[in-house]
Amino acid sequence: MNVTRGFTGRPRVRNDGLPPGQYDAGDDWPVLSAEVTPDLAPAEWRFTVDGLVAEPRTWNWDEAHALPPSAYEGDIHCVTSWSKFGVRFGGASLDAFLDTARPAPEATHVIAYSHTGYTANLPLADLTGGRAWIVWEYGDGPLPAEHGGPARLIVPHLYFWKSVKWIAGLRLLDHDEPGFWEQNGYHHRGNPWEEQRYSGD
């Protein structure tokens, strides 16, 4: 593209943690859900792993909390161009849930869905190996409802629309099926380092 006349942009800060096309949102944490924030109490929350697994399983709040604690400390990246540095989410590693359910050898993809019916698709490989969590803490407190509390999925190495708020479950599949934004023109995988924002990127 051509240079935009007279545009200089914000001062350049060398930041190796900033993917291409992203800016540091600082203390802001924009909320971008398309639906009404659900009124979901921890006692009502459930998380199910089913589909192509040896043992379909549903966890309630206490059962999920009984798993070994695990936290993500690092950065998150939203497709709308903001990134947020040095956040902490506490919960349990998704590996702990998947180890119980035991994915079938033919399982390759996952649909993650929320208690509002929102969906996002992910390759199973992006959810294993200590790269995804079910979290209920932000910083030192409970995860706020507008940010997905009581519990959400986080997959911080992908754009954050994949990190389904108010997580209700994962369905393991042997093929890729687009979720909500992926049906609305967004990229199937959403790797911020390759700037996979839209279908065709």
Partner 1 sequence: MSIKSTTDFTPSAGFTPPTRFAVPGRISVNNLTAATWQRATLTEVRRETPHAATFRFAVPDWEGHLPGQHLMLRLRAGDGYVAQRHYSIASPPDDTGHIELTLDHVDGGEVSGWFHTVAEPGDEVEVRGPLSGFFAWPGDRPALLVGAGSGVVPLMSMVRHHRARGLSVPLRLLVSARGPEELIYASEYGAETTPVFTRTAPEGVPVGRVSAAHVAALLADRPEGGWEAYVCGSNGFAEHASRLLVDAGQPVDRIRIERFG
Task: Select 20 or 105, whichever has its Cβ closest to partner 1.
Answer: 20
15 binds partner 1 (CB under 8 A): no
Q: CA nearest 151: which of 80, 83, 34, 63?
A: 63
Terminal CA-CA length for the chain: 16
198 binds partner 1 (CB under 8 A): yes
Smallest distance from partner 1 to CB 52, Å: 12
44 binds partner 1 (CB under 8 A): no
Binding residues for partner 1, total number by CB under 8 A: 51
What dihedral do alpha carbons 11, 14, 18, 23 form, nearest 10°?
-10
Is 88 within 8 Å of 71 (Cβ atoms)?
Answer: yes
16 binds partner 1 (CB under 8 A): no
Site string for partner 1, 93-132 (x = CB under 8 A): ------------------x-xxxxxxx-------------
191 binds partner 1 (CB under 8 A): no
The stretch among 18-26, 52-60, 88-96, 130-138 that binds partner 1 (CB under 8 A) is 18-26
Q: CA nearest 33: which of 69, 80, 65?
A: 80
Q: Is 125 exposed, middle or buried (CB count within 10 Å of its CB: 0-12, 13-18, 19+)?
A: exposed
Instruction: Enter the tokens of residue 39.
Output: 């009124």
Helix, strand or coil, per DSSP, at residue 62: helix
Residues contributing to the site for partner 1 (CB under 8 A): 1-10, 12, 20-21, 23, 30-38, 78, 80-82, 111, 113-119, 146, 168-169, 171, 173, 177-178, 180, 183-185, 197-201
